[in-house]
Structure 1
Amino acid sequence: MAKNFVFSSILFCMILSNIHAQTIDLKLEEQMVALQSDVIRSYNELQKFLNEDTRRGNELLAFESLITIYVNEILNLYDTLWRLNGTTLESHQYIAARSLIFRALAYLERVAENEVNYAKACEDYKRALLLAQNELKKPLLSTKLPFEVWVGKKLYTRLADLLDNREKNFQMLDCFRVSNSLLQGGKRK
Protein backbone atom coordinates (compact mmCIF):
# COMPACT_ATOMS: atom_id res chain seq x y z
CA MET A 1 0.00 0.00 0.00
CA ALA A 2 2.84 2.39 0.81
CA LYS A 3 4.40 1.62 -2.59
CA ASN A 4 1.12 2.49 -4.33
CA PHE A 5 0.93 5.75 -2.41
CA VAL A 6 4.52 6.68 -3.34
CA PHE A 7 3.92 5.72 -6.97
CA SER A 8 0.66 7.71 -7.06
CA SER A 9 2.37 10.70 -5.46
CA ILE A 10 5.21 10.62 -7.99
CA LEU A 11 2.75 10.27 -10.86
CA PHE A 12 0.68 13.16 -9.53
CA CYS A 13 3.79 15.37 -9.22
CA MET A 14 4.81 14.50 -12.78
CA ILE A 15 1.36 15.40 -14.08
CA LEU A 16 1.38 18.69 -12.16
CA SER A 17 4.84 19.64 -13.44
CA ASN A 18 3.76 18.79 -17.00
CA ILE A 19 0.65 20.97 -16.66
CA HIS A 20 2.78 23.76 -15.18
CA ALA A 21 5.25 23.51 -18.08
CA GLN A 22 2.40 23.65 -20.61
CA THR A 23 1.04 26.74 -18.86
CA ILE A 24 4.44 28.44 -19.08
CA ASP A 25 4.73 27.54 -22.77
CA LEU A 26 1.26 28.92 -23.43
CA LYS A 27 2.05 32.20 -21.63
CA LEU A 28 5.30 32.60 -23.57
CA GLU A 29 3.51 31.92 -26.85
CA GLU A 30 0.80 34.46 -25.98
CA GLN A 31 3.52 37.04 -25.34
CA MET A 32 5.13 36.22 -28.70
CA VAL A 33 1.81 36.66 -30.51
CA ALA A 34 1.17 39.99 -28.78
CA LEU A 35 4.66 41.24 -29.59
CA GLN A 36 4.30 40.12 -33.21
CA SER A 37 1.13 42.21 -33.34
CA ASP A 38 3.15 45.17 -32.01
CA VAL A 39 5.83 44.64 -34.68
CA ILE A 40 3.26 44.63 -37.48
CA ARG A 41 1.35 47.56 -35.99
CA SER A 42 4.60 49.55 -35.75
CA TYR A 43 5.50 48.63 -39.32
CA ASN A 44 2.04 49.80 -40.45
CA GLU A 45 2.58 53.09 -38.61
CA LEU A 46 6.01 53.44 -40.24
CA GLN A 47 4.43 52.98 -43.67
CA LYS A 48 1.71 55.53 -42.84
CA PHE A 49 4.39 57.98 -41.79
CA LEU A 50 6.40 57.41 -44.99
CA ASN A 51 3.25 57.85 -47.07
CA GLU A 52 2.34 61.14 -45.36
CA ASP A 53 5.77 62.66 -44.80
CA THR A 54 8.74 62.01 -47.07
CA ARG A 55 11.23 63.44 -44.58
CA ARG A 56 13.58 60.93 -43.11
CA GLY A 57 15.79 60.90 -40.08
CA ASN A 58 14.98 60.69 -36.41
CA GLU A 59 11.41 59.54 -36.97
CA LEU A 60 12.56 56.56 -39.03
CA LEU A 61 15.20 55.75 -36.43
CA ALA A 62 12.49 55.81 -33.75
CA PHE A 63 10.34 53.32 -35.68
CA GLU A 64 13.37 51.14 -36.35
CA SER A 65 14.32 51.20 -32.65
CA LEU A 66 10.80 50.36 -31.52
CA ILE A 67 10.52 47.44 -33.93
CA THR A 68 13.97 46.24 -32.83
CA ILE A 69 12.88 46.23 -29.18
CA TYR A 70 9.83 44.11 -30.01
CA VAL A 71 11.79 41.71 -32.23
CA ASN A 72 14.54 41.25 -29.65
CA GLU A 73 11.91 40.40 -27.05
CA ILE A 74 10.32 37.86 -29.43
CA LEU A 75 13.72 36.29 -30.04
CA ASN A 76 14.36 36.11 -26.28
CA LEU A 77 11.02 34.34 -25.79
CA TYR A 78 11.82 32.00 -28.68
CA ASP A 79 15.19 31.17 -27.11
CA THR A 80 13.50 30.59 -23.74
CA LEU A 81 11.03 28.15 -25.30
CA TRP A 82 13.95 26.38 -26.98
CA ARG A 83 15.85 26.09 -23.68
CA LEU A 84 12.77 24.87 -21.80
CA ASN A 85 11.73 22.23 -24.31
CA GLY A 86 14.76 21.51 -26.48
CA THR A 87 12.57 22.30 -29.48
CA THR A 88 10.05 24.87 -30.67
CA LEU A 89 6.76 24.66 -32.49
CA GLU A 90 6.40 25.76 -36.08
CA SER A 91 4.18 28.62 -34.90
CA HIS A 92 7.01 29.93 -32.70
CA GLN A 93 9.45 29.69 -35.60
CA TYR A 94 7.09 31.54 -37.93
CA ILE A 95 6.42 34.31 -35.40
CA ALA A 96 10.15 34.86 -34.92
CA ALA A 97 10.86 34.64 -38.66
CA ARG A 98 8.05 37.02 -39.66
CA SER A 99 9.19 39.53 -37.06
CA LEU A 100 12.75 39.37 -38.37
CA ILE A 101 11.50 40.04 -41.91
CA PHE A 102 9.52 43.08 -40.77
CA ARG A 103 12.60 44.38 -38.97
CA ALA A 104 14.64 43.79 -42.14
CA LEU A 105 12.08 45.81 -44.10
CA ALA A 106 12.30 48.60 -41.50
CA TYR A 107 16.10 48.57 -41.80
CA LEU A 108 15.81 48.92 -45.58
CA GLU A 109 13.81 52.13 -45.16
CA ARG A 110 16.90 53.77 -43.64
CA VAL A 111 19.65 52.40 -45.88
CA ALA A 112 20.17 55.84 -47.45
CA GLU A 113 20.91 57.31 -44.01
CA ASN A 114 22.88 54.37 -42.66
CA GLU A 115 24.51 51.85 -45.00
CA VAL A 116 25.05 49.42 -42.10
CA ASN A 117 21.29 48.87 -42.19
CA TYR A 118 21.65 46.91 -45.42
CA ALA A 119 23.89 44.35 -43.69
CA LYS A 120 21.47 44.22 -40.74
CA ALA A 121 18.53 43.66 -43.09
CA CYS A 122 20.39 40.88 -44.87
CA GLU A 123 21.30 39.22 -41.58
CA ASP A 124 17.69 39.32 -40.37
CA TYR A 125 16.34 38.03 -43.69
CA LYS A 126 18.75 35.09 -43.77
CA ARG A 127 18.03 34.24 -40.13
CA ALA A 128 14.29 34.39 -40.81
CA LEU A 129 14.56 31.99 -43.72
CA LEU A 130 16.63 29.58 -41.61
CA LEU A 131 14.10 29.71 -38.76
CA ALA A 132 11.19 29.08 -41.10
CA GLN A 133 12.85 26.29 -43.04
CA ASN A 134 10.30 23.50 -43.22
CA GLU A 135 10.02 21.16 -46.17
CA LEU A 136 6.66 19.73 -45.12
CA LYS A 137 4.66 22.95 -44.98
CA LYS A 138 3.97 25.97 -47.16
CA PRO A 139 6.96 28.39 -47.24
CA LEU A 140 6.79 31.24 -44.74
CA LEU A 141 6.68 33.93 -47.42
CA SER A 142 3.56 32.33 -48.94
CA THR A 143 1.60 31.94 -45.70
CA LYS A 144 -1.17 34.35 -44.79
CA LEU A 145 -0.09 37.08 -42.39
CA PRO A 146 -1.85 37.03 -39.01
CA PHE A 147 -2.54 40.78 -39.33
CA GLU A 148 -3.16 43.15 -42.22
CA VAL A 149 -0.28 45.24 -43.52
CA TRP A 150 -1.08 48.49 -45.29
CA VAL A 151 1.42 50.34 -47.44
CA GLY A 152 -0.15 53.48 -48.78
CA LYS A 153 -3.60 52.43 -49.93
CA LYS A 154 -2.62 48.84 -50.68
CA LEU A 155 -3.40 45.92 -48.39
CA TYR A 156 -1.01 42.99 -48.11
CA THR A 157 -1.89 39.63 -46.62
CA ARG A 158 1.28 37.68 -47.47
CA LEU A 159 4.94 38.56 -47.00
CA ALA A 160 5.72 37.47 -50.57
CA ASP A 161 3.28 40.05 -51.97
CA LEU A 162 4.69 42.78 -49.74
CA LEU A 163 8.26 41.98 -50.79
CA ASP A 164 7.37 41.69 -54.49
CA ASN A 165 5.29 44.81 -54.77
CA ARG A 166 7.78 47.01 -52.95
CA GLU A 167 10.70 45.45 -54.87
CA LYS A 168 12.31 44.59 -51.55
CA ASN A 169 12.64 41.01 -52.76
CA PHE A 170 15.46 42.10 -55.09
CA GLN A 171 17.31 43.74 -52.23
CA MET A 172 16.84 40.66 -50.06
CA LEU A 173 17.93 38.29 -52.82
CA ASP A 174 20.95 40.51 -53.37
CA CYS A 175 21.99 39.64 -49.81
CA PHE A 176 22.75 36.11 -50.95
CA ARG A 177 24.68 37.26 -54.03
CA VAL A 178 26.76 39.67 -51.94
CA SER A 179 27.41 37.00 -49.29
CA ASN A 180 28.57 34.50 -51.90
CA SER A 181 30.87 37.01 -53.60
CA LEU A 182 32.36 38.04 -50.24
CA LEU A 183 32.95 34.39 -49.37
CA GLN A 184 34.79 34.01 -52.68
CA GLY A 185 37.01 37.01 -51.93
CA GLY A 186 35.05 39.67 -53.79
CA LYS A 187 33.84 43.02 -52.57
CA ARG A 188 30.37 44.51 -52.55
CA LYS A 189 29.77 46.85 -55.45
Structure 2
Amino acid sequence: MEQSIRTQPPGPRPRRPAAADGAREASVPGPAAPRDAVTARPTRLRPAGGGPVVLARLRRRVQAGGRRTGPPTRLTGIGTGLFAVVATLAIGFLDQLLFGGLGVLFGLGFVFVCFQAAVRVRLADLPAAPISGPIAFAVAIGLLAPVQVPGVIGQVLALCSGLASRAGWLFGGTGLAVLIVLARFVAQRRIRRTRG
Protein backbone atom coordinates (compact mmCIF):
# COMPACT_ATOMS: atom_id res chain seq x y z
CA MET A 1 0.00 0.00 0.00
CA GLU A 2 1.45 3.26 -1.10
CA GLN A 3 1.55 6.19 1.19
CA SER A 4 1.88 9.62 -0.28
CA ILE A 5 3.88 11.92 1.88
CA ARG A 6 3.55 15.59 1.20
CA THR A 7 6.63 17.49 1.93
CA GLN A 8 7.19 21.18 2.19
CA PRO A 9 10.23 23.05 1.16
CA PRO A 10 12.22 24.42 4.07
CA GLY A 11 11.68 28.01 5.02
CA PRO A 12 8.80 30.20 6.15
CA ARG A 13 5.31 29.23 5.06
CA PRO A 14 3.60 31.64 2.71
CA ARG A 15 0.72 33.54 4.35
CA ARG A 16 -2.60 34.12 2.73
CA PRO A 17 -3.85 37.63 2.12
CA ALA A 18 -5.77 39.29 4.99
CA ALA A 19 -8.90 39.73 2.89
CA ALA A 20 -9.11 36.02 2.20
CA ASP A 21 -8.74 35.19 5.91
CA GLY A 22 -11.53 37.62 6.85
CA ALA A 23 -13.86 36.20 4.20
CA ARG A 24 -13.20 32.65 5.36
CA GLU A 25 -13.83 33.53 9.02
CA ALA A 26 -17.07 35.27 8.11
CA SER A 27 -18.30 32.35 6.01
CA VAL A 28 -17.48 29.57 8.47
CA PRO A 29 -19.91 29.43 11.41
CA GLY A 30 -18.35 28.80 14.76
CA PRO A 31 -18.53 29.71 18.40
CA ALA A 32 -18.69 33.39 19.18
CA ALA A 33 -15.52 35.06 20.22
CA PRO A 34 -15.25 35.41 23.98
CA ARG A 35 -16.19 38.84 25.20
CA ASP A 36 -14.67 40.80 27.99
CA ALA A 37 -15.82 39.73 31.46
CA VAL A 38 -17.16 43.20 32.23
CA THR A 39 -19.32 43.37 29.10
CA ALA A 40 -20.29 39.68 29.02
CA ARG A 41 -21.76 39.59 32.53
CA PRO A 42 -24.86 41.69 33.14
CA THR A 43 -24.56 43.84 36.19
CA ARG A 44 -27.26 45.03 38.58
CA LEU A 45 -27.02 48.56 37.30
CA ARG A 46 -27.38 47.54 33.67
CA PRO A 47 -29.30 44.26 33.32
CA ALA A 48 -29.65 42.71 29.90
CA GLY A 49 -33.41 43.19 29.56
CA GLY A 50 -34.15 46.44 31.38
CA GLY A 51 -33.01 49.74 32.76
CA PRO A 52 -31.02 50.52 35.88
CA VAL A 53 -32.68 48.58 38.70
CA VAL A 54 -30.78 50.14 41.57
CA LEU A 55 -31.39 53.67 40.34
CA ALA A 56 -35.10 52.94 39.99
CA ARG A 57 -35.25 51.69 43.59
CA LEU A 58 -33.42 54.75 44.85
CA ARG A 59 -35.76 57.00 42.88
CA ARG A 60 -38.81 55.27 44.40
CA ARG A 61 -37.37 55.63 47.91
CA VAL A 62 -36.65 59.34 47.38
CA GLN A 63 -40.16 59.92 46.02
CA ALA A 64 -41.59 58.17 49.10
CA GLY A 65 -39.75 60.65 51.32
CA GLY A 66 -37.14 58.17 52.51
CA ARG A 67 -39.73 56.17 54.43
CA ARG A 68 -39.80 52.39 54.25
CA THR A 69 -42.63 51.31 51.97
CA GLY A 70 -43.90 47.91 52.98
CA PRO A 71 -45.42 46.01 55.87
CA PRO A 72 -44.29 46.98 59.37
CA THR A 73 -41.66 44.96 61.16
CA ARG A 74 -43.22 41.93 62.85
CA LEU A 75 -42.29 40.87 66.39
CA THR A 76 -42.09 37.35 67.74
CA GLY A 77 -43.80 36.39 70.98
CA ILE A 78 -40.64 36.94 73.05
CA GLY A 79 -39.91 40.16 71.17
CA THR A 80 -43.40 41.44 71.91
CA GLY A 81 -42.99 40.73 75.62
CA LEU A 82 -39.58 42.42 75.76
CA PHE A 83 -40.88 45.41 73.83
CA ALA A 84 -43.87 45.80 76.15
CA VAL A 85 -41.80 45.55 79.36
CA VAL A 86 -39.01 47.87 78.22
CA ALA A 87 -41.33 50.48 76.74
CA THR A 88 -43.65 50.49 79.77
CA LEU A 89 -40.71 50.84 82.16
CA ALA A 90 -39.27 53.69 80.09
CA ILE A 91 -42.59 55.56 80.12
CA GLY A 92 -42.89 54.98 83.87
CA PHE A 93 -39.40 56.38 84.52
CA LEU A 94 -40.23 59.39 82.34
CA ASP A 95 -43.46 60.00 84.22
CA GLN A 96 -41.66 59.83 87.55
CA LEU A 97 -38.97 62.24 86.38
CA LEU A 98 -41.45 64.77 84.99
CA PHE A 99 -44.37 64.54 87.43
CA GLY A 100 -43.02 62.65 90.45
CA GLY A 101 -45.23 59.55 90.15
CA LEU A 102 -47.16 57.20 87.89
CA GLY A 103 -50.07 59.22 86.55
CA VAL A 104 -51.83 59.99 83.27
CA LEU A 105 -48.67 59.91 81.17
CA PHE A 106 -47.95 56.38 82.36
CA GLY A 107 -51.51 55.25 81.56
CA LEU A 108 -51.55 56.79 78.08
CA GLY A 109 -48.11 55.38 77.36
CA PHE A 110 -49.25 51.92 78.43
CA VAL A 111 -52.26 52.08 76.08
CA PHE A 112 -49.95 53.13 73.24
CA VAL A 113 -47.55 50.27 74.01
CA CYS A 114 -50.44 47.78 73.95
CA PHE A 115 -51.58 49.18 70.58
CA GLN A 116 -48.09 48.87 69.08
CA ALA A 117 -47.63 45.34 70.44
CA ALA A 118 -50.95 44.19 68.97
CA VAL A 119 -50.22 45.77 65.58
CA ARG A 120 -46.64 44.54 65.24
CA VAL A 121 -46.84 40.98 66.58
CA ARG A 122 -46.61 38.12 64.08
CA LEU A 123 -49.74 36.26 63.07
CA ALA A 124 -48.35 33.06 64.57
CA ASP A 125 -47.84 34.81 67.95
CA LEU A 126 -51.04 36.88 68.19
CA PRO A 127 -51.89 35.84 71.80
CA ALA A 128 -48.57 37.30 72.99
CA ALA A 129 -49.82 40.89 72.65
CA PRO A 130 -52.71 40.78 75.15
CA ILE A 131 -50.64 38.63 77.52
CA SER A 132 -47.51 40.78 77.53
CA GLY A 133 -49.39 44.02 78.26
CA PRO A 134 -50.61 43.17 81.78
CA ILE A 135 -47.25 41.56 82.62
CA ALA A 136 -45.41 44.73 81.60
CA PHE A 137 -47.90 46.85 83.57
CA ALA A 138 -47.41 44.74 86.73
CA VAL A 139 -43.60 44.82 86.38
CA ALA A 140 -43.61 48.60 86.02
CA ILE A 141 -45.94 49.05 89.02
CA GLY A 142 -43.89 46.64 91.14
CA LEU A 143 -40.60 48.41 90.37
CA LEU A 144 -41.73 52.04 90.31
CA ALA A 145 -44.61 52.33 92.77
CA PRO A 146 -43.71 53.80 96.17
CA VAL A 147 -43.51 51.27 99.01
CA GLN A 148 -45.03 52.35 102.34
CA VAL A 149 -44.07 49.29 104.41
CA PRO A 150 -40.52 47.86 104.10
CA GLY A 151 -40.04 44.24 103.16
CA VAL A 152 -41.65 41.77 100.82
CA ILE A 153 -45.11 42.31 102.29
CA GLY A 154 -44.82 46.02 101.67
CA GLN A 155 -43.88 45.44 98.03
CA VAL A 156 -46.82 43.06 97.53
CA LEU A 157 -49.20 45.60 99.10
CA ALA A 158 -47.79 48.39 96.94
CA LEU A 159 -48.23 46.23 93.84
CA CYS A 160 -51.82 45.34 94.70
CA SER A 161 -52.79 48.92 95.52
CA GLY A 162 -51.06 50.21 92.40
CA LEU A 163 -52.89 47.73 90.20
CA ALA A 164 -56.22 48.51 91.87
CA SER A 165 -55.83 52.28 91.56
CA ARG A 166 -54.81 52.08 87.90
CA ALA A 167 -57.15 49.28 86.82
CA GLY A 168 -58.81 51.51 84.21
CA TRP A 169 -55.58 51.95 82.27
CA LEU A 170 -54.78 48.25 82.65
CA PHE A 171 -58.15 47.09 81.31
CA GLY A 172 -58.20 49.76 78.62
CA GLY A 173 -54.82 48.84 77.15
CA THR A 174 -55.41 45.10 77.43
CA GLY A 175 -58.89 45.38 75.89
CA LEU A 176 -57.51 47.42 72.99
CA ALA A 177 -54.86 44.76 72.36
CA VAL A 178 -57.49 42.00 72.46
CA LEU A 179 -59.71 43.81 69.94
CA ILE A 180 -56.84 44.42 67.50
CA VAL A 181 -55.63 40.82 67.78
CA LEU A 182 -59.15 39.47 67.16
CA ALA A 183 -59.60 41.76 64.15
CA ARG A 184 -56.30 40.62 62.67
CA PHE A 185 -57.17 36.97 63.27
CA VAL A 186 -60.58 37.27 61.59
CA ALA A 187 -59.11 39.18 58.65
CA GLN A 188 -56.45 36.50 58.16
CA ARG A 189 -59.09 33.75 58.24
CA ARG A 190 -61.12 35.53 55.56
CA ILE A 191 -58.05 35.99 53.36
CA ARG A 192 -57.26 32.28 53.62
CA ARG A 193 -60.83 31.32 52.76
CA THR A 194 -60.90 33.52 49.68
CA ARG A 195 -57.58 32.14 48.48
CA GLY A 196 -58.56 28.55 49.20
Asked whether the two chains share a fold, i.e. TM above 0.5, the reply is: no
With the length of structure 1 as denominator, give the TM-score of the two structures.
0.31
More helix per residue: 1
More strand per residue: 1
With the length of structure 2 as denominator, give the TM-score of the two structures.
0.30
Please say which structure displays the higher CA radius of gyration. 2
